[in-house]
Amino acid sequence: MSESKTISITNANTGINYVDEFDVVVCGYGGAGGCAALEAVRNGAKVLILERASDGGGSTALSSCEMYLGGSGGTSLQRACGFEDTTQNMINYIELAFEDKGDPEKIKFYTENAYQHFEWVKSLGVTYKEAAHLGRIVVPESNESLLYTGNERAYPFSDYSQPVPRGHVPSHEGDFGGKIFFDALKKEITLSQITVRCDSRVLGLVVDSNNLICGVSYKKDNCIQHVKVTKGVILTTGGFVMNDEMVSKYLPFQSDFAAPYGNPWDKGDGIQIGMLMNANVINMDEAFFGVYFYPPESLTYGIFLNSSGERFVNEDSYGARIGHFCAQQHQQKVYLLVQNEDFAPSIYMDKLPVLAVADTFEELEKEAGFEPNTLSSTAKKYNGYVKGGFDEAFKKDPQWLKEICNPPYALIDYSFDLQRSPMYSQKTGPLMFTLGGLETLKTGEVLDKNGAIIPKLFAAGRTTAGLPRTGKGYSSGMSVGDATFFGRMAGKSASKNKM
Ligand SMILES: Cc1cc2nc3c(=O)[nH]c(=O)nc-3n(C[C@H](O)[C@H](O)[C@H](O)COP(=O)(O)OP(=O)(O)OC[C@H]3O[C@@H](n4cnc5c(N)ncnc54)[C@H](O)[C@@H]3O)c2cc1C
């Protein structure tokens, strides 16, 4: 049976026996669910978490746990590292990032409260080192906690908002942020009165004759069980990148070449449950889609070319923006032209082949099978821009303008079709997680197709269309920041719900 068909709504009149009763039932124990549950119990609710896996964590525990935070003059970490960040500056950045797909209310609310959210995360016992890594990296291998995780220093963003680092990552050497964060969250949850049931897959909701939610159905020990709910159900089961049926339906273009990035239960269960309650789903065709061709940052001195030998992006952009523009190119054929002194294998995409090496642009062009005067003409034009100190084509920041004039030159093949070949590991593929889901208010309340609140239904994280709305404008930290912050808001709202 398909994953989606196992999700259903049960009528309470069909002789349901409830195993017990809770004020708030949280479905999915990842970042959003854990934070929702903690806020709900702290606001006096009797809370149950149901988790499909044998333990909590989800993608949040797998992640680097970079959170995108700032505003209010700067978080305590930003200030300690000497950075100021106004709320309006951060709003300007995020609004430009998501263009007309952004939700202005959520952006404003998140930004106004990001400072306080960071203090809340620290209060769990998560430690941050008051030091910044200002290089062009994705995750610090050293233990600094503040970094640039998006396009802040790149055009067009640098024209609209003052560049400030907003990536906040728990301090540790290596990539362990998600585990550090989740261990701290889990410790608080274990110490609280929250009941946690793992190996319990939520299958749907129980409704009364007026379609009002009164319970949750789940499968545990091979038995379907039901719990009664008085105040609210919070759907926090993550996104749908592991559900082939949903990916083919909503992201057919990316499904051809993207490598799913998430945990095995990113099956879209929460979204399916919401849809059966007539919830509105939005932004389903948007996904994070990362081409992390750096570090080393020296590769940024190179230029990306398509199969016509044309540039198509400022190469100092964040990996998700690079991924977006790579995907737009004909047959997703994309190459990085780099000179010898700037070449070193990319950390995340080290297995990609060098298509050609030559001492002149003309030879390189010929060897790689480009039409004459395509690649060579673009490279010479680019060198002209470098000499003039201004990238007239894509406004790459002058910091990354360096003449490509020391042969040999190499052309590295980043074309997406290569990543379907068995010679590449999944690690080298453009990574994807989904950014569409249930439409919610900033309170976590779920809206139906008419824009009305569905009583007693809440959601957060990748089950919803939250703060991050496009891969093109995504900055690392926006997903965990969004899931944990709006998870908390959903937990607060559900615990106070009187409907
Ligand atoms: C390796 C990696 C690194 C990343 N790094 C970052 C980063 O640094 N910063 C950032 O912002 N984003 C990052 N992301 C993305 C980010 O981790 C996720 O988008 C985010 O954590 C999702 O949070 P969530 O709470 O919505 O879902 P999750 O944390 O995935 O939690 C969902 C939970 O629901 C459970 N579940 C699913 N279905 C059911 C069901 N039917 N019943 C009961 N339980 C169910 C799952 O098992 C899971 O535990 C990264 C992702 C990956 C994979």
Predicted pLDDT of residue 17: 93
Amino acid at 295: P
Ligand 1 geometric centre to CA of 460 (Å): 11
Strand partners of residue 384: none
Predicted pLDDT of residue 499: 65
Query: How far is Cα 464 from Cα 310, in angstroms, rounded to an integer?
Result: 37
Amino acid at 360: T
DSSP state of 359: S
The residue whose two tokens read 């959003």 is 32
CATH class of 1-289+433-499: alpha beta
Which residue of 141, 237, 261, 318 sits with most ligand 1 atoms within 8 Å of its CB, as the best mutation to test the pocket? 237
Domain topology for 292-428: Flavocytochrome C3; Chain A, domain 1 (3.90.700)
Ligand 1 geometric centre to CA of 265 (Å): 9
Tokens of 295: 């570090």
Predicted pLDDT of residue 419: 55
List all residues whose CB is within 6 A of at least one atom of ligand 1. 27-33, 50-53, 56-60, 62-66, 201-202, 236-238, 261-263, 265, 267, 269, 433, 461-462, 476-481, 483
Three-state SS at 307: coil
Q: Which helix (H) or strand (E) holds 215?
A: strand 213-220
Q: Are 460 and 36 contacting, i.e. CB atoms less than 8 angstroms apart?
A: yes
For ligand 1, atom 11, name the residue with the nearest CA.
Answer: 477
Three-state SS at 460: coil
Q: Are 110 and 478 contacting, i.e. CB atoms less than 8 angstroms apart?
A: no
pTM: 0.96
Please state whether beta strands 223-235 and 453-459 pair in parallel, antiparallel, or not at all (unpaired).
parallel
Ligand 1 geometric centre to CA of 206 (Å): 25
Ligand 1 geometric centre to CA of 266 (Å): 7
Q: If 0-12 CB within 10 Å is exposed, 13-18 middle and 19+ buried, where does residue 264 land?
A: exposed
Predicted pLDDT of residue 255: 80
Predicted pLDDT of residue 498: 82
Query: Residue 68's closest CA among 156, 206, 166?
Result: 166
CA 80-86-92 angle, 5° bins: 130
320-332 in b/e form (b: 16+ CB < 10 A) is bbbbbbbbebeeb
Query: How far is Cα 269 from Cα 266, in angstroms, rounded to an integer?
Result: 8
Q: Which helix (H) or strand (E) holds 488?
A: helix 478-496
Predicted pLDDT of residue 429: 61
- Listed in sequence order, the residues at least 6 apart from 258 whose beta carbon sits closer than 8 Å to its beta carbon are 251, 287, 289, 429, 430, 431, 432
- Domain ranges across the chain: 1-289+433-499, 292-428
Query: H/E/C letters for each residue in 158-206?
Result: HHHCCCCCCEECCCCCCCCHHHHHHHHHHHHHHHCCCEEECCCEEEEEE
Ligand 1 geometric centre to CA of 295 (Å): 25
Q: Which helix (H) or strand (E) holds 82?
A: none
Tokens of 360: 């002149």
Per-residue pLDDT of the chain (499 residues; tens, 9 = 90+): 455 568 999 999 988 999 999 999 999 999 999 999 999 999 999 999 999 999 999 999 999 999 999 999 999 999 999 999 999 999 999 999 999 999 999 999 999 999 999 999 999 999 999 999 999 988 888 899 999 999 999 999 999 999 999 999 999 877 789 999 999 999 999 999 999 999 999 999 999 999 999 999 999 999 999 999 999 999 999 999 999 999 999 999 888 778 889 999 999 999 999 999 999 999 999 999 899 898 899 999 999 999 999 999 999 999 999 999 999 999 889 999 999 999 988 877 777 789 999 999 999 999 999 999 999 999 999 999 999 999 999 999 999 999 999 999 999 999 887 655 544 445 356 889 999 999 999 999 999 999 999 999 999 999 999 999 999 999 999 999 999 999 999 999 999 988 6
Three-state SS at 422: coil
Predicted pLDDT of residue 418: 62
For ligand 1, atom 5, name the residue with the nearest CA.
Answer: 63
Query: How far is Cα 270 from Cα 288, in angstroms, rounded to an integer?
Result: 19
